[in-house]
Every structure is written in C-alpha cells, then in structure tokens.
Chain A
Amino acid sequence: AQSVTQLDSHVSVSEGTPVLLRCNYSSSYSPSLFWYVQHPNKGLQLLLKYTSAATLVKGINGFEAEFKKSETSFHLTKPSAHMSDAAEYFCVVSDFEGGSYIPTFGRGTSLIVHP
C-alpha cells in the first residue's frame, strides 16, 4: 500500500528567503511522485513530477524537488520565495499497485509568505 506524509501543515517564510516543504512517502513499487499547488479558489496545478528519470526534478516557477529513495523523501524547495507562492501544496504518490494507478495525496502544506 502507498502513503504520503507531508511533515508540516503550515510553513511560514519571508519573501526572498528559501522555501522547504517536506514530503515522505511509502510505496511497495517504483512510484511516481508529484507536487501540485492549489491557489485560493483555483484548481490544482502540477508543479513537477518524478517518474524514475533524474532524481533532481525541476518544475515551474523555480521550484525543484529531489527524489531520495534511501530516505523515502521528495522534498520541495525554492531558493527565493515570492508573494505569489502563497498557496496550498500537495505531495502525491502514485504507483501501479494492483494494476491501477490510484494517486494518494498528502494532507497539504500551507505556504505563507510574509513581505
């Protein structure tokens, strides 16, 4: 069975400082991993994805994530936060268990950016 844990429900940073959103996963197979962002009253948007290619994945808006199998982690980072980054972020694991892709979402991390 697959699962995902987002280690922080809220992360607060100042504009211009680095962002770290933490995600640990569990999977019996070789998983695909994703980060999605949800701005208030907007739909879910894919930030980046890992699908067994390069372990360091670059996404949109300057975000990156590194797949670390030994640590079962897929943390999301950004060197410098912008006010527009304030949103809810979801880590997602999806493997081919039982012949179906059934994504499992984390509970979300709310990113707060202070001026």
Chain B
Amino acid sequence: DTGVSQDPRHKITKRGQNVTFRCDPISEHNRLYWYRQTLGQGPEFLTYFQNEAQLEKSRLLSDRFSAERPKGSFSTLEIQRTEQGDSAMYLCASPRELEGNEQFFGPGTRLTVL
C-alpha cells in the first residue's frame, strides 16, 4: 500500500455517459499526477497539479477530459461523453518533492466503455 487511494477501482459505462474518478494522494505531497495506461503500454502522462493549480496538461487530454483538485487535497478526473477509446486504466500518483520525482502510484481505476 503506497498511501495513494483511488475510487472506484472499476467502472463500466456505456458510450456517451459521463464518468468521474477520485484520487486521494499522500497527504503531505503537494503534487498530484494523472496517467492513462492502455493494454501493453506504459502509463502516459495526462495532467498534474501543484496544490490546487493545474500546471501541465498533455495533448492527450481532449476537451472531454477535465481534472480538478479543490483545496489541494483529493483530485477528480471527469470524462464527458465517453468513447470506447477511453477504455483504459487511469492511474493517480503523488511524488516526493525531492529525490527526483519518485512517484507513488494508486491502484488505478479501470474504465470499460461499452
């Protein structure tokens, strides 16, 4: 257990529906990252927060994706009008502030879009 939790662990939805995932990072870590991992690939960076500020967004993050981190604590990732191509594992990580950005990963939320 890394101390990073994600909810739900699994989500099955129909195409066109909206879904929201939650991540609770390690409490003393100021930064929080979201990644997407598809089968047979490594995790791909989506976005990251420094406290409540969203500082970077990948080109992978289409307009249907939005992330928030109110009050700099937990974060949510919402996907609107889901598509089958959104099916993936969505990972959250919170890194140490020092030591080169070592990341502590949550267990992930596996999204299946039917």
Contacts and interface: CB of A to CB of B under 8 A. Distances in A.
Contacts of A27: none
Contact of A44 (B41, B48, B101, B105): B105
A80 B55 CA distance: 43
Contact of A94 (B2, B55, B101, B106): B101
B2 A105 contact: no
A90 B44 CA distance: 12
Contacts of B42: 90, 92, 105-108
Interface string A3-43: 00000000000000000000000000000101010000011
Interface residues of B, number: 25
A90 B41 CA distance: 9
B101 A32 contact: yes
A51 B91 contact: no
Size category of the binding interface on chain A = 20 to 34
A46 interface: yes
Contacts of A90: 42-43
A100 B48 contact: yes
Given A100-B56, A102-B56, A108-B40, A46 B102 contact: yes
Interface in B29-54: 33, 35, 40-45, 48
Contacts of B56: 100, 102
